[in-house]
Structure 1
Amino acid sequence: MIRIGIVGTSSISARFAEAVTEVDGVEISRVASRDAERARAFAAEIGVPGTAEGLSALLAAPDVDAVYLASPNSLHLAQIDEAVGAGIPVLVEKPAVLTARDWDAAASRARERGVVLLEAMRSAYDPGLAAVRELLPRLGTIRRVALRYEKRSARYDHVLAGEQTNIFDPALGGSALRDLGVYPLHVLVRLFGAPNSVHGVRVGIAAGTDGAGSALAAYDGFVADVAWSKITDTALPSEIQGEEASLVIDAIDAPRRLVLTPRGGRPEEVRVEAPRNPMVGEVGFFRDAIAGRDTAADHEATAQTLRLVDALLDVPLS
């Protein structure tokens, strides 16, 4: 049994803990927070017996074999470094770190020490993405890709009220691009590799970062556009267009309903069977990685995605 310690007490940590209960061979043993009372309250909420005051105490605990980091983005790199230095496998919430250079350094150190390091990019381990990949050959030559993740955050209301909040705070590595834009960018990389070039526009908000944006990526023979937003909602799906058929994807972070329409033919619906909690796949992969499953392709996908994020963050806010 792999005993996982959680760093962070947000809603994403609660969803992770729930996912762990659906995966054999893993369990949550402790919750860590710099605020001891908060750690105890959250541990009680998710039914976990142990707590720790801070990461160092968690890493030293005798019942912790691995850690899941769900702290603010700006803290990830230092926490990865500390955990890897202690020889403890790390699953770190996306984005794993703030820059591709930071990821290259962290991943290199983890490989040198023989410690598992994995980004918790749930869409990469979701059966929906596998279903999309299986359908791609039926589309013929790919010519256009449109991927999007646009969902208004309730915390945007805090920004409108003149307050700051973690997910929009640039000092903590917050932004809509890093929080939601990474999903379609990562799927783009997983399906088609890194583009030849990328250009973008970022819509600025009062918090000092982007609330929405779009990117145009050039590949040999086709173009891809990516949209993200945490200040607006959309009913539009994602779509991949080939010369022989098009594929509509209901939700790029967790595809569940796919519609393939052959050129001149009738639409064909594909329903994806998947766990109710979309984080189950990443938990299972992390368990398997600790058991020896290769993560080289996963490291490279994270690196390529972060290079795109780096390029887009260089675009001035509009």
Structure 2
Amino acid sequence: MIRFGIIGTNWITDRLIDAARQVDDFALTAVYSRTEEQGKAFQEKHEIPHLYTNLQAFVASTEFDAVYIASPNSLHAEQAILCMNHGKHVLCEKPIASNARELKAMIDAAHRNNVLLMEALKSTLQPNFKSIQDNLHKIGPVRRYFASFCQYSSRYDSYKQGIILNAFNPELSNGSMMDLGIYCIYPMVALFGKPEYVKASGVMLESGVDGEGSILAKYKNMDAVMMHSKITNSYLPSEIQGENGSIIISKISQLTDIEIRYHDGTVEDISLPQVSNTMYYEVQHFIELIQKGELESATNSFANSMIVMEVMDEARRQLGLVYPADLR
């Protein structure tokens, strides 16, 4: 049984807990909240034995072995390093850090403390991602990867009324690419490795974050096109185009309904059964790694997370998107 502590009391944590309680050997024993009132409500809602409102007391606790961090992006590195320095394994919500410099410090802390650190990017750990990997050879030489995740944010209505919520706050290292674009970038890196270069464009909002954007990544014999947005919707599927056919992905963040469409008109469904709350797979994988004594995921690896962060750092540089975390 792996005992978990939680940092973050928001909707994504609710989803994680719902998924994790379907995983064998998961136990939720502690939660940290900055406020007693919010923490108490979350504790009662999920029947969590221990509540902490002091971060130092939380990380020093002997009530849990691993921690899931779902605080604002700008706090990920500081909190993860603090937890790892106290011997805790860390599953950190995506994006794992604000920039590559922070991620390097996190990886150093993981090595130094002999603990597991993993980015909680769910899609690459789902059965259907493995199905894509296993069937990729069928479409012949890959020439283009196209991924789109454009989802109008309910918080954008408030933004247009002058209320800047977390999703559009640069102080928290937020914005479209960090929130949604990463779902397009990470599978690309996991499948094809580091691109030779990237070109980025986008729409910057007055708050100082990107509302939407596009990224072109160049590989030796193929290119990748990625679109992300929090201020518009898109209903396009994503696809991997090969010389013999294309893999069609209905939704890049969920990896449901995967099929190959061949040039002769035949269609092959390569979808595999998946649980409805797909965060299940990241928790299952993380727990299995701890139980095996492994300190790094082969899929959501340090190398992959670092390449993804470097791609986003370069894309932000081209956009002129700077976070306070970049200046620390």
Q: State the TM-score bracket (shorter-chain normalisation).
A: over 0.9
Give the deviation of 1:54 after TM superposition: 3.3
What does residue 143 of structure 2 align with? 143
Q: How far apart are the structure 2 equivalents of 1:135 and 1:270?
A: 8
Q: Which runs of 5+ in 2 are unaligned?
A: 322-328
Q: How far apart are the structure 2 equivalents of 1:293 and 1:148?
A: 33
What does residue 155 of structure 2 align with? 155
Say which SS state the counterpart of residue 251 (structure 1) adopts.
Answer: coil
Normalised TM-score (structure 2):
0.94
Q: Does 1:64 align with 2:64?
A: yes
What does residue 37 of structure 1 align with? 37
Q: How far apart are the structure 2 equivalents of 1:170 and 1:26?
A: 34
Equivalent pair of 1:3/1:64 in contact (CA under 8 Å): yes
Equivalent pair of 2:116/2:294 in contact (CA under 8 Å): no
Q: Does 1:222 align with 2:222?
A: yes
Which deviates the most, 284-293 or 164-173? Answer: 284-293
What does residue 198 of structure 2 align with? 198
Give the deviation of 1:317 after TM superposition: 5.8
What does residue 299 of structure 1 align with? 302
Say which SS state the counterpart of residue 239 (structure 1) adopts.
Answer: strand
Equivalent pair of 1:4/1:26 in contact (CA under 8 Å): yes
Give the deviation of 1:305 after TM superposition: 0.3
* Matching of residues 220-299 of structure 1 within 5 Å: 220-291=220-291, 292-295=293-296, 297=298, 298-299=301-302
Return closer, same or farther for 1:162/1:201 CA change in 2, 3 Å cut-off.
same
Say which SS state the counterpart of residue 182 (structure 2) adopts.
Answer: helix
Say which SS state the counterpart of residue 278 (structure 1) adopts.
Answer: coil
Q: How far apart are the structure 2 equivalents of 1:296 and 1:267?
A: 33
Say which SS state the counterpart of residue 271 (structure 1) adopts.
Answer: coil
Deviations 1:209-257 (A, max 9, x none): 1011000011111111011111111110001110011111011122110
Equivalent pair of 1:202/1:317 in contact (CA under 8 Å): no
Equivalent pair of 1:7/1:31 in contact (CA under 8 Å): yes
Amino acid paired to 2:48:
V
Q: How far apart are the structure 2 equivalents of 1:75 and 1:68?
A: 13
Q: Does 1:313 align with 2:283?
A: no
* Matching of residues 92-131 of structure 1 within 5 Å: 92-131=92-131
Normalised TM-score (structure 1):
0.96
Say which SS state the counterpart of residue 146 (structure 1) adopts.
Answer: strand
Q: How far apart are the structure 1 equivalents of 2:106 and 2:40?
A: 30
Which deviates the most, 71-80 or 61-70? Answer: 61-70
Equivalent pair of 2:202/2:319 in contact (CA under 8 Å): yes
Say which SS state the counterpart of residue 273 (structure 1) adopts.
Answer: coil
Equivalent pair of 1:256/1:273 in contact (CA under 8 Å): no
Taking only the aligned residue pairs, the percentage that are identical comes to 34
Equivalent pair of 2:185/2:308 in contact (CA under 8 Å): yes
Q: How far apart are the structure 2 equivalents of 1:278 and 1:43?
A: 23
What does residue 91 of structure 1 align with? 91
Deviations 1:12-54 (A, max 9, x none): 0001111110111111111210101111101212232321113
Equivalent pair of 1:129/1:254 in contact (CA under 8 Å): no
Q: How far apart are the structure 1 equivalents of 2:214 and 2:238?
A: 13
Q: How far apart are the structure 2 equivalents of 1:289 and 1:220?
A: 34
Equivalent pair of 2:200/2:319 in contact (CA under 8 Å): no
- How many residues are treated as equivalent by the alignment? 318
Q: How far apart are the structure 2 equivalents of 1:214 and 1:194?
A: 18
Q: How far apart are the structure 2 equivalents of 1:58 and 1:274?
A: 34
Give the deviation of 1:274 after TM superposition: 0.7
RMSD of equivalent CA atoms: 1.4
Q: Which runs of 5+ in 1 are unaligned?
A: none
Q: How far apart are the structure 2 equivalents of 1:7 and 1:109?
A: 18
Give the deviation of 1:272 after TM superposition: 2.5
Equivalent pair of 1:203/1:317 in contact (CA under 8 Å): no
Deviations 1:157-190 (A, max 9, x none): 1111111111210011111100111111001000
Say which SS state the counterpart of residue 184 (structure 1) adopts.
Answer: helix
